[in-house]
Amino acid sequence: MAVRRAGITRFFFAAMRSESVRRDQTNLSREGGQHVRLARAMPVKTLGGTWTAETYRIGADIPNWTVTESCDIKLRFTPNDRVDAGKIALVQMILRRFNGTNPDAGLAAQALATGGAAAKAKASRSDGVGHLDRMQNANNPVYGAPNLPVNGSVYNTAVGTFDDHYVTGERTTNNNYQTGATGRAARDAILYDRPNSGGALNDDFMHFETAAISLAGPQKNVWYGSVEWGWTKTNGAIVLLPLAVVSMGTPSARMTALVRKWNTGIDQGGNANIKLKMTVIPGTLSEDDLSTNQKRSTAATTITTARDNVGYFSHTNPKTDRRNGDWLAAAVNGYRPGE
């Protein structure tokens, strides 16, 4: 965790969130189920917009579904007036524990032992702790989106039109996502997911971080914040994490690392994954960092300092990172607590 102080001002970097799922799990265990059910439905806001879990259920509440160690979610991102984007995509990472172990921890050994294409693809995308939430035969990092041509561009990701039949279980199409946009063609970005681990033990979990990024328009490659959600098995019961902000702007340190890992990985066919631009701004903001004018000013100054650090711009295409930093600094300066 990196901290910058000016009086009572604190600037927290994204790494501060690495233990958040444990804290949320502890809090949930002290609350009644009905209270948690109400709390988890509350929309949350990042600097780029509002996140709403329109559907968020444990497996036992999903009609015509028998895997209790699960949940489902229809997650909507509604951009605010700070956003100017022709296409907004949702990207998601997963951390998982099953039967008391982390399945990602054994992927490298499995790939070495079997030599199989699927095993190699999985291992190439994982850092041994987590991975972006895409199947091994997918080459597009955008959640739910169809594959792109080999050596294609993520900016050509299909717009998609979300199909609510996914929520009801009558899957008449494969559209479990859609990209968002602002302007004349304004619409929200949406995804639907149903993570499940049949036979999970106590303390097993499936936790997710979902982030929004612009793929087109004046703010291309700008990140608009991220949220966490998921489930944990506690004392024999499946308990949902409250929908909560991970990052007000650029994603967490963990997700940043996994995007970079994805960019060096391959799909099941042995072809390179379609790359996703990841900002190198070394920190991001929590809601606590934005509660006073003094904090807003210091946060913007810190972002500017990081953006100008030559070490962070030694790789290719630094201009996109500066664009992300400029947007984030402007958003911080214009932020009003509770807006």
Query: Which pLDDT does position 248 carry in this prediction?
Result: 82
308-330 per-position pLDDT tens digit: 433 333 343 445 566 777 777 77
For residue 250, being part of any structural domain is answered with: yes
For residue 115, being part of any structural domain is answered with: yes
User: What is the distance of C-alpha 61 from the center of its chain?
Assistant: 24
Kindly state the percentage of the chain with pLDDT values over 70.
Answer: 69
Query: Which pLDDT does position 107 carry in this prediction?
Result: 86
Per-range mean pLDDT, top range of 225-239, 276-290, 311-325: 225-239
For residue 190, being part of any structural domain is answered with: yes
Q: Is the pLDDT of residue 149 over 90?
A: yes
Q: CB of 12 within 8 A of CB of 299?
A: no
Query: Which pLDDT does position 322 carry in this prediction?
Result: 66
Q: Is the pLDDT of residue 304 over 80?
A: no
Query: Residue 174 — left, alpha, or beta (φ > 0 → left; ψ -120 to 50 → alpha)?
Result: alpha
Q: Is the pLDDT of residue 300 over 70?
A: no
Please count the structural domains in the chain: 1
Q: How far is CA 92 from CA 225, 230, 281, 287, 307, in A?
A: 12, 12, 19, 21, 25
Q: What is the pTM of this model?
A: 0.80
Kindly state the percentage of the chain with pLDDT values over 90.
Answer: 50
Q: How far is CA 61 from CA 65, 68, 70, 168, 234, in A?
A: 8, 9, 10, 12, 17
* More confidently predicted of 17 and 296: 296
Q: Is the pLDDT of residue 30 over 70?
A: no
Ordered alpha helix ranges (H), the chain: 20-29, 33-39, 107-114, 117-125, 165-168, 253-263, 293-307, 318-333
**Range of 34's domain?**
5-333
Apex 162 CA angle, 156 and 167, nearest 5:
145
For residue 46, being part of any structural domain is answered with: yes
Q: Is the pLDDT of residue 160 over 60?
A: yes
Q: CB of 144 within 8 A of CB of 191?
A: yes
The residue type at 279: T
For residue 339, being part of any structural domain is answered with: no
Mean pLDDT of 280-289: 50
Query: Which pLDDT does position 50 carry in this prediction?
Result: 95
Query: Which pLDDT does position 64 carry in this prediction?
Result: 87
